[in-house]
Amino acid sequence: MSEIQSIAAMILISIGTFFLFVGSWGIVRLPDFYSRTHAVSLSDTMGIILVLGGLMVYEGFTLQSAKLFIAIVFMALAGPTGSHAIARAAFRAGLKPLFSGGRKEKETDATGT
């Protein structure tokens, strides 16, 4: 039982690390601020849920795994909310999204850089 737990935890943590890597890579690779927000909010939240879920599987039924579950629920709520707040601030400040056929963004946002 313990070996199965360890292997499942290893697999979950590895997949979660891969998702975190994809989210980070998306921050650099994507051309536009709003698509970068997409990368952060979705991939990073998925990676955190998978890694903490793997640790939960490794821990078993204890008080610590219940706390981990609370952390997972909080991160699943907080990550997209934070990204949405930044995207809303950027949109209200007048940062234009990149439409198809457009070039890469210049420093044209209203508040400057």
Partner 1 sequence: MQSFFIYISVILTIIILIPLYRVYIGPSIYDRVLGAGSIGTKTLVLICLIGFAFDRFDMFLDITIAYAVLNFIGVLAMAKYLNSMRGKNE
Kindly state whether residue 107 participates in binding partner 1, applying the rule CB under 8 A.
Answer: yes
Kindly state whether residue 74 participates in binding partner 1, applying the rule CB under 8 A.
Answer: yes
Kindly state whether residue 90 participates in binding partner 1, applying the rule CB under 8 A.
Answer: yes
Kindly state whether residue 69 participates in binding partner 1, applying the rule CB under 8 A.
Answer: no
Of 21, 92, 29, 80, nearest to 51 (Cα)?
21
Of 40, 71, 41, 39, nearest to 53 (Cα)?
71
Report the alpha-carbon angle 33-35-37, nearest 5. 70
Task: Give the interface size with partner 1 as a residue count (CB under 8 A).
Answer: 54
Cβ proximity of 52 and 64 under 8 Å = no
Distance of closest approach, residue 110 Cβ to partner 1, in angstroms: 7
Binding mask 23-62 for partner 1 (x = CB under 8 A): xxx-xx----x--xx--x---x--xx--xx--x--xx---
